[in-house]
Amino acid sequence: MSSLLPHRLERSLSLWLGVLPFFVFALVFLVLPTLHVVIGAFTRPDGSLTLANLSDLMSGTILSALWLSLRISLWTACLGTIGGLLVAGAVIRGGLPPALRDAVMTFSGVASNFAGVPLAFAFIATLGRLGLVTVLARDWFGINLYATGFNLTSFSGLTMAYLYFQIPLMVLIITPAIDGLRGEWRETAESLGASGVQYWRMVALPVLWPSLLGAFALLFANAFGAVATAMALTGSALSILPIILFAQIRGDVLQDPHLGYAIAFAMIALTGGANVIYIWLRLRAERWQK
Amino acid sequence: MNLKRIGSWAIFILAVIYFLLPLVGTLEFSLRARRGVYSLDAYRNVLDDPQFQQTLAYSVILSIATVILGVLIVAPTAFWVRLKMPRLRPVVEFITLLPLVIPPIIIVFGYIRLFNTSSILPLTGSARGTDFLLAAGYATLSLPYMYRAVDTGLRAIEVQTLTEAAQSLGAGWATVLARVILPNIAVAILSGAFLTFAIVIGEYVIAALLNRPAFGPYMVWMGSNRAYEPAALAVIAFGMTWASMGVIQLLARRTRFTKG
């Protein structure tokens, strides 16, 4: 067989053989399943093309779920970006003991992966109706948390839980950018008479801006794709889009798989778009980190 | 003590409170199962529950299978790309980053539709097939971490030199990979493996939708049926995550010392 093939071709074939398992695996278990979902969003059960599935997204329950998902993702991305920037700034540039920095980075590495069922349990045990903070607020300060309108299985509760992985993720992403702020810039600003606030407003923030926006996009995608935390925390009390999709896949609610494909496509488009923005802005931001 | 430092300490302390309270709260809650006194009853109930043992064992075995599958897919490719096909690198890197962009629920949705009983590859038709599909899904989720870990490991060694040395002694490709390259990047592979373990062990969405008796679905079931046991489960799950991360840190430190 090999004698029949030209030498060059044989060589390049054996080259490709080395990476074949990877590409076959990625094709079968990553690319094709995703493509199947995407194509399904644009076809009818008989295979003909249509945009009807996507326009069905604009109906009552799904539209409100999409809106809720958007709000929770934007809101936790916003608070996560600010919170993470504050924590990272305080630890790196705030004059705190250097040992704290290592501790915060290690913790962030772990906590950014905490999304999921145990995180929901932790918040139920802390802020649920019998949770530690709820009980202590009642016994020590006479405050009934749940009478103030707070509810863990609501928007505000889910936001608090999401921030537990959003802030650490932000700390991890933004640290290189803050490290990239050069000391000379600060000295120059100070020698020109700038105050600390002026330095941050007119030098540091403009330099950090692409990194911040990019991080915001990544945090948005991160929150938008999360399912397990919300499901374990609220049951189905809070219908975010992925929970609707989950129910649809299980066959509980909607009977039309192509509507499910359309929901899935909307999710890919949003998380994918956010990631593209993140990557593009990060490439821009890295100019300052050399 | 200037204003900046006071502000930094204030932010830091607020963050510590926010991040510590849920951990303390979970621990405290998990000890409350017996009325009036702290006890380990919730843990006893959990550990004695045959369902706990079975689902945890299932998830541990599955995560080992995932790691093996992941290494088999990633290590030869990363090695080959580094040695012979550097131009493919951006493509491979892009593919390994895709699982961070596509939510797991979408991937498993595709699996259910693509590998159903009436398809060419009816993996969901049997329990074994679904187990394999679950491991493949987890290996996909772990691609970004596994690839980066292995690639970092390869960067630290002289791939070219080691390969040529082994070949000049008569080793074939399989021998080069298994007996020269893999042992040299074992630490990197291990840290990728523990990260994979931490992600896989409590995963819920894929396991639930593929309907397999894994630890994640078990936790959710406990969450809607018991009061104090979920907190105990959360402590156990956190413990496992922290242990894996601790091992990764140790491994990272070890390599730093051996390199230095």
Whether the CB of B28 is below 8 Å from some CB of chain A: the reply is yes
Sign of the four-CA dihedral A147, A148, A153, A157? negative
Neighbours of A207 (CB within 10 A): 19
Query: At A181, phi and psi to the nearest 5?
Result: -70, 120
CB contact under 8 A, B9 and A86: no
Indicate the burial class of A4 (C-beta count within 10 angstroms; 0-12, 13-18, 19 or more): exposed
| Contact criterion met (CB < 8 Å) for A118 and B234 | yes
- Show the beta-strand stretches assigned E in A144-289: none
| Token pair in block for residue A201 | 């407003």
A247, part of any domain: yes
**Residue B212: HSE in the Cβ half-sphere, 13 Å Cα cutoff:** 31
- Do A75 and A32 belong to one domain? no
Q: Cβ of B90 under 8 Å from any chain A Cβ? A: no
Task: Looking at the structure, tell me whether residues A36 and A142 fall in a common domain.
Answer: no
- For residue A43, the SS3 value is strand
Find, in chain B, the residue whose alpha carbon is nearest to that of A33: B110
| pTM: predicted TM-score of the whole model, two decimal places | 0.88
Instruction: Tell whether A236 is within 8 A of chain B (Cβ).
Output: no
Residue A46 lies in a domain: no
The DSSP output letter for A200 is I
Residues A223-237: pLDDT tens digits? 998 889 999 988 777
- Domain identity same for A117 and A148: yes
Tokens representing B167 are: 């070949």
Write out the residue range of the structural domain in which residue A28 sits.
Answer: 1-41
Can you tell me the ipTM of this complex?
0.88
Q: Say whether residue B85 is in contact with chain A using an 8 A CB cutoff.
A: yes
A21, A196, A272 ranked by CB distance to B73: nearest: A21
User: Per the domain annotation, does A53 fall within a domain?
Assistant: no
pLDDT at A90: 92
pLDDT of B69 reads 95
Does residue A143 form part of some domain?
yes
Do A168 and A112 form a contact (C-beta atoms < 8 A)? yes
Question: How far apart, in whole angstroms, are the C-alpha atoms of residue A34 and residue A151?
Answer: 36
pLDDT at A1 over 60: no
In a domain, A236, yes or no: yes
Chain position carrying tokens 């890197």: B93
φ/ψ of A248, rounded to 5, equals -65, -40
Reference B233, options B172, A253, B241; nearest CA is: B241
Share of chain A above pLDDT 90, in %: 35
B15 and chain A in contact, CB less than 8 A: yes
A237 and A115 co-located in one domain: yes
Q: Find the CB nearest B103 among A26, A28, A267.
A: A267
Whether residue A283 has pLDDT greater than 90: no
CB contact residues (below 8 A), chain A span 87-146, against chain B:
87, 89-91, 94-96, 100, 106-107, 109-111, 113-114, 116-127, 130-133
Nearest to A181 by CA among A206, A163, A161: A206
The pLDDT of residue A142 is: 84
Chain centroid to Cα A104, Å, comes to 20
Task: With a cut of 50, say whether residue B260 has pLDDT above it.
Answer: no
Write out pLDDT tens, residues B105-116: 999 999 998 998
pLDDT at B104: 93
- Inter-chain CB proximity A125 and B30 less than 8 Å: yes
User: Does A99 share its domain with A243?
Assistant: yes
Q: Are residues A65 and A12 in the same domain?
A: no
Rounded to 5 degrees, what are φ and ψ at B40? -100, 20
Q: A32 and B114 in contact by Cβ < 8 A?
A: yes
- Smallest CA–CA separation between A95 and chain B, in Å? 6
Question: How many structural domains comprise chain A?
Answer: 2
A122 and A65 in a common domain: yes
Q: Are residues A103 and A170 in the same domain?
A: yes
Q: Which of B29, B115, B191, B225 to mutate to test the interface with A (most CBs of A within 10 A)?
A: B29
Residue A2 and residue A103 in one domain:
no
One domain, residues A5 and A82: no
Q: Determine, yes or no, domain membership for A123.
A: yes
Q: Are A34 and B76 an interchain contact pair (Cβ–Cβ within 8 Å)?
A: no
Q: Where are the alpha helices (DSSP H) in A57-204?
A: 60-93, 98-111, 117-127, 132-141, 155-179, 183-191, 196-199
CATH at residue A262: 1.10.3720.10
Six-digit token pair at B171?
């080793």
Is position A11 within any domain? yes
Residue A5, in any domain of the structure: yes
Question: Do A155 and A194 belong to one domain?
Answer: yes
CA atoms within 13 A on the CB side of B83: 23
Inform me whether the C-beta atom of residue B12 falls under 8 Å from chain A C-beta atoms: yes
Residue labelled with tokens 């374990």: A232
CB proximity under 8 Å: B 127-166 to A: 136-137, 139-140, 143
Of A25, A34, A121, the CB nearest to B223: A121
Mean pLDDT of B119-129: 86
Question: What residues of B are in contact with residue A36 (Cβ under 8 Å)?
Answer: 110, 113-114
When pLDDT is cut at 50, 70 and 90, the band that residue A186 belongs to is confident
Which domains, and CATH codes, for chain B?
49-259 (1.10.3720.10)
Q: What residues in A contact B103, CB-CB < 8 Å?
A: 224-225, 227, 242, 267-268, 271
Residue B1: is its pLDDT beyond 90?
Answer: no
Q: At what angle do helices B127-155 and B89-101 cross, to 10 degrees?
A: 130
Sign of CA dihedral A70, A72, A78, A84: negative
In chain A, residues with a C-beta closer than 8 Å to the C-beta of B110 are: 32-37
Over the stretch B212-256, which tens digit does the pLDDT of each residue have? 999 999 999 999 898 899 999 999 999 988 888 888 888 877 765
Q: Which two tokens stand for residue A11?
A: 């060589």
Which residues of chain B are within 8 Å of residue A122 when distances are taken between CB atoms?
22-23, 25-26, 231, 234, 238
Is the domain of A163 the same as that of A28?
A: no
Q: Does B199 touch chain A (CB under 8 A)?
A: yes
- Of A113, A122, A246, nearest to B199 by CB-CB distance is A113
pLDDT classification of B177: cutoffs 50, 70, 90: confident
How is chain B classified by DSSP, letter by letter? --HHHHHHHHHHHHHHHHHHHHHHHHHHHHT-SSTTS--SHHHHHHHH-HHHHHHHHHHHHHHHHHHHHHHHHHHHHHHHHHHT-GGGHHHHHHHHHHHHHS-HHHHHHHHHHHTSTTSSS-GGGSHHHHHHHHHHHHHHHHHHHHHHHHHHHHHTS-HHHHHHHHHHTT--HHHIIIIIIHHHTHHHHHHHHHHHHHHHTT--HHHHHTT---HHHHHHHHHHH-SSHHHHHHHHHHHHHHHHHHHHHHHHHHHHHHH-
Using CA coordinates, name the residue in chain A closest to B91: A23
pLDDT for residue A107 is more than 80: yes
